[in-house]
């Protein structure tokens, strides 16, 4: 088996620029969130597959908060870099910036993390090259990704525990004060 050679973050840094055309807009005249999600996935794929030198699939998308609306006519720049590699997985950090060329202004609209997994010719997860970290910032981003991975594991476990507990002991008191109306038609 070929052992993949380590690669620096700079090797796969990728930027996509896309013009926001009228057909991307919602009824309010702003750009659909789904358009940006699709572009985020596209740039994450380009960056991950370049590092992995293999076909990659999207496993998970974190931290997609739309901070500012994007307008028709804006140029949207998506800047992607590998921030972490595991065995077969890679985390890609993506900054989304919207530029109004007429006014000469830019605004940050997203900062997301996408986890991709590299697949081999047998369609199974395959090892990716180690990441060469060449700056303190790249080290910080790598460590943050390690921490996020741990927190996600704890979070998933807690959500499963809470879900099991509520299935076994439905505490309807929990929804008191919430904006819902109970009109149960089944027998719990
Ligand atoms: C991603 C996939 C290959 C994982 O398969 P699997 O049999 O669970 O493989 P593994 O358990 O060996 O996991 C492979 C890697 O994925 C990571 N992974 C799996 N699920 C994950 C999740 N929800 N979030 C983050 N990483 C995840 C594992 O940690 C592992 O990383 P590592 O190799 O760096 O340690 C499989 O679930 C898949 O093909 N999913 C569909 C992906 C797809 O089609 N996406 C497009 C959307 S339509």
Residue 127, ligand 1, Cβ within 6 A: no
- Closest alpha carbon to 96 in 139, 133, 137, 66: 66
- Ligand 1 atom 48, closest CA: 58
pTM (2 d.p.): 0.93
Residue 38, ligand 1, Cβ within 6 A: no
- For 116-151, write each residue's pLDDT tens digit: 999 999 999 999 999 999 999 999 999 999 999 999
Residue 59, ligand 1, Cβ within 6 A: yes
- For 22-79, write each residue's pLDDT tens digit: 999 999 999 999 999 999 999 999 999 999 999 999 999 987 888 899 999 999 999 9
Q: Considering the chain, what is the average pLDDT of its residues?
A: 94
- Strand segments, DSSP code E, in 34-104 are 55-62, 75-85, 89-100
Q: Is 162 exposed, middle or buried (0-12, 13-18, 19+ CB in 10 A)?
A: exposed
Distance between Cα 24 and ligand 1 center (Å):
31
Distance between Cα 94 and ligand 1 center (Å):
20
- For 80-127, write each residue's pLDDT tens digit: 999 999 999 999 999 999 999 999 999 999 899 999 999 999 999 999
List the alpha helices (DSSP H) in 13-135: 33-52
Best of 115, 117, 131, 156 to mutate for ligand 1, by most ligand atoms within 8 A of CB?
117
In the chain, what are the domains?
7-133 (3.10.129.10)
Q: How many helices (H) and strands (E) does the chain have?
A: 3, 7
Residue 87, ligand 1, Cβ within 6 A: yes
* Distance between CA atoms of residues 99 and 75, nearest Å: 5
């Amino acid at each position: 088996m070929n052992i993949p050679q380590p690669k620096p973050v700079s090797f796969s840094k990728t930027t996509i620029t896309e013009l926001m055309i009228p057909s991307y807009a919602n009824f309010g005249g702003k750009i659909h969130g789904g358009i940006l999600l699709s572009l985020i996935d596209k740039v994450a794929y380009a960056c991950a597959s370049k590092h992995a030198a293999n076909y990659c699939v999207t496993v998970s998308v974190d931290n997609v908060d739309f901070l500012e609306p994007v307008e028709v006519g804006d140029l949207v720049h998506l800047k992607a870099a590998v921030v972490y590699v595991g065995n077969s997985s890679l985390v890609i950090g993506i900054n989304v910036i919207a530029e109004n060329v007429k006014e000469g202004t830019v605004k940050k609209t997203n900062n997301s993390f996408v986890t991709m997994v590299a697949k081999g010719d047998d369609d199974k997860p395959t090892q990716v090259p180690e990441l060469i970290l060449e700056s303190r910032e790249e080290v910080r981003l790598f460590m943050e990704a390690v921490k996020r991975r741990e927190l996600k594991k704890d979070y998933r476990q807690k959500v499963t525990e809470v879900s099991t507990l509520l299935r076994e002991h439905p505490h309807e008191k929990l929804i008191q004060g919430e904006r819902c109306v109970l009109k149960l038609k089944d027998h719990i």
